[in-house]
């Protein structure tokens, strides 16, 4: 029953707050050679410590479910950076006044913004092989950010975000 509740919350969060992800990777990389990972020791994500823990826990669970394991001597390192930004409002109402009569005309139009502007958060995931290729895979995610969200909602959002980000890792060979 608890799993159904979590799935419902994830579906609700992802339907209201779309997560957009762009991927980039080095085409010559042999992704099958990577089995272990770790994080840089000087990881500075730009988030608070609690959100750091939530994001790293979600990332660990997702990577381990894909068969990767955390190691002290990893095949690759993970670096995470984030930034908050103000999203543009797309909702406007146009108000117009005009008149004509006997070859006289005029008009005024005003666009009024509706609703509050929202905060967005960009999180960049860099996977780095320090022995061979350097940066070999990157995902840049953008999503809505609510600084006053409850801990459960934050955790659900990070889980959904990591699931979406790791859909592109490893990239499908063509």
CATH number of the domain within which 59 lies? 3.30.160.670
Kindly state whether residue 164 falls inside one of the protein's structural domains. yes
Kindly state whether residue 109 falls inside one of the protein's structural domains. no
Total domain count for the chain?
A: 1
Instruction: Name the residue with higher pLDDT: 7 or 33.
Output: 33
Kindly state whether residue 136 falls inside one of the protein's structural domains. yes
pLDDT digits (tens, 9 = 90+) for 54-66: 999 999 999 999 9
Q: Quickly state the pLDDT bin for 14 (edges 50, 70, 90).
A: very low
The answer to which of 7-11, 77-81, 86-90 has the lowest mean pLDDT is 7-11
Going through 41-163 in order, the beta strands assigned E by DSSP cover 69-70, 76-86, 92-101, 104-113, 119-129, 134-145
- pLDDT for position 1: 59
Asked if residue 25 lies in contact with residue 171, where contact means CB atoms within 8 angstroms, the answer is: yes
Q: Quickly state the pLDDT bin for 96 (edges 50, 70, 90).
A: low
- pLDDT for position 13: 45
- pLDDT for position 15: 45
pLDDT digits (tens, 9 = 90+) for 101-151: 665 555 555 665 555 567 888 999 999 999 887 999 999 999 887 888 899
Q: Which domain holds residue 156?
A: 2-87+117-168
- pLDDT for position 84: 82
Kindly state whether residue 28 falls inside one of the protein's structural domains. yes
Average pLDDT, stretch 3-11? 53
Mean pLDDT (the chain, rounded): 82
Please give the Cα distance from 146 to 82 (Å, whole number): 14
Kindly state whether residue 94 falls inside one of the protein's structural domains. no
Kindly state whether residue 48 falls inside one of the protein's structural domains. yes
- pLDDT for position 86: 75
Residue 91 has pLDDT above 80, yes or no: no
Instruction: Return the exposure string of 27-51: e unless at least 16 CB atoms fall within 10 Å of the residue's CB, then b.
Output: eebebeebeebebeeeeebebeeeb
What's the predicted TM-score (pTM) here? 0.73
Kindly state whether residue 100 falls inside one of the protein's structural domains. no
Kindly state whether residue 122 falls inside one of the protein's structural domains. yes
């Amino acid at each position: 029953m608890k799993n159904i509740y979590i799935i419902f919350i994830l579906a609700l969060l992802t339907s209201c707050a779309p997560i957009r992800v762009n991927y980039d990777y080095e085409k010559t990389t042999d992704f099958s050679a990577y089995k272990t990972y770790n994080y840089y020791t000087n990881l500075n994500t730009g988030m608070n410590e609690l959100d750091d823990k939530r994001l790293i826990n979600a990332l660990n669970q997702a990577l381990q479910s894909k068969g990767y394991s955390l190691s002290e001597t990893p095949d690759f390192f993970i670096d995470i950076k984030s930034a908050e930004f103000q999203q543009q409002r797309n909702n406007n109402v146009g108000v117009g006044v005009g008149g004509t009569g006997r070859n006289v005309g005029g008009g005024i139009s005003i666009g009024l913004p509706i609703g509050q502007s929202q905060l967005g958060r960009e999180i960049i995931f860099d996977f780095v092989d320090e022995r061979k290729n350097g940066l070999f895979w990157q995902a840049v995610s953008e999503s809505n950010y609510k600084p006053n969200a409850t801990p459960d909602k934050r955790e659900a959002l990070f889980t959904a975000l990591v699931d979406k980000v790791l859909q592109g890792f490893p990239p499908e060979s063509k």
